[in-house]
């Protein structure tokens, strides 16, 4: 895919993520003040998928890649980390900024395309964390992991908790998509409605990657995979619903 088309798709996806998203976070998560109070009461809960792979986070420089509404980032900040979020949606940044203020923590929220992040002087993080709905927004998985490497300090950890492609490509494909694990076609579908009402708040184009493509791109970029776990689906425990990839930046 040429760079101009990829840029057009990114801009369209950004617009979709700014379609009533701030209001949707209010409906789904409550006001920033209410959401912050819950995080302050138990900051580890919102970060429970990530924390076991990070060790103590106090004092660490952590980048929450595509950190969306900021709940994970604020939870890590409450636990003592210095957290930067990179995300391309202003509506996400707005909710996250109010959430951080209400929780009385500092959060550096960078409004940018993740693929441009390495050119913004943000590097040398101790850890990169991301969860659920990250990779399918990227049309070049190799470029994505190369940028992640440029954000890493020596031996930095990358923790990715992501939807499993077997679930997304075979068992729960979007309407109109035939089950095909190896399909490289773009999928056009609504941005998820966090309230569960299935409203169409905007439409994005996605590229769902196989596990082999993800692991291959991470290894080629200089990451050493140290742990890989598959997790059951939330509604059908007989199929995989998510996976956790833990890697460290150790280029040759």
What is the reported pLDDT for 107?
96
What is the reported pLDDT for 197?
87
What is the reported pLDDT for 199?
84
Q: Which residues of 14-28 are buried (b: 16+ CB within 10 A; e: fewer)?
A: bebbbbebbebbbee
What is the reported pLDDT for 252?
78
- 99, 70 contact by CB (below 8 A): yes
What is the reported pLDDT for 173?
85
Going from the N-terminus, what domains does the chain have, and what CATH number goes with each? 3-249 (3.40.50.150)
In the predicted model, residues of the chain with pLDDT beneath 70 are: none
What is the reported pLDDT for 98?
98
What is the reported pLDDT for 118?
84
Contacts of residue 113, Cβ cutoff 8 Å, sequence gap at least 6: 10, 14, 88
């Amino acid at each position: 895919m040429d760079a101009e088309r990829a840029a057009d798709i990114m801009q369209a996806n950004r617009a979709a993520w700014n379609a009533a998203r701030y209001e949707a976070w209010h409906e789904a998560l409550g006001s920033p003040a209410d959401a912050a109070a819950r995080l302050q009461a138990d900051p580890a809960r919102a970060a429970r998928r990530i924390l076991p792979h990070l060790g103590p986070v106090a004092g660490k420089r952590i980048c929450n890649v595509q950190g969306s509404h900021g709940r994970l980032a604020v939870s890590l900040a409450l636990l003592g980390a210095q957290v930067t979020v990179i995300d391309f949606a202003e509506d996400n940044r707005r909710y996250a900024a109010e959430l951080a203020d209400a929780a009385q923590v500092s959060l550096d929220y960078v409004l940018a395309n993740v693929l441009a992040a390495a050119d913004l002087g943000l590097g040398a993080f101790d850890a990169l964390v991301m969860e659920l709905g990250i990779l399918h927004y990227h049309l070049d998985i190799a470029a994505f992991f190369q940028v992640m490497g440029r954000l890493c300090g020596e031996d930095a950890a990358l923790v990715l908790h992501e939807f499993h492609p077997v679930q997304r490509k075979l068992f729960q494909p979007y309407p109109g998509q035939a089950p095909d694990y190896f399909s490289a076609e773009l999928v056009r579908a609504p941005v998820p409605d966090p309230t569960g009402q299935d409203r169409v708040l905007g439409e994005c184009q996605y590229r769902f990657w196989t596990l082999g493509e993800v692991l291959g791109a991470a290894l080629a970029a200089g990451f050493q995979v140290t742990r890989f776990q598959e997790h059951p689906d939330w509604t059908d425990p007989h199929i995989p619903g998510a996976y956790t990839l833990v890697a460290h930046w150790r280029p040759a």
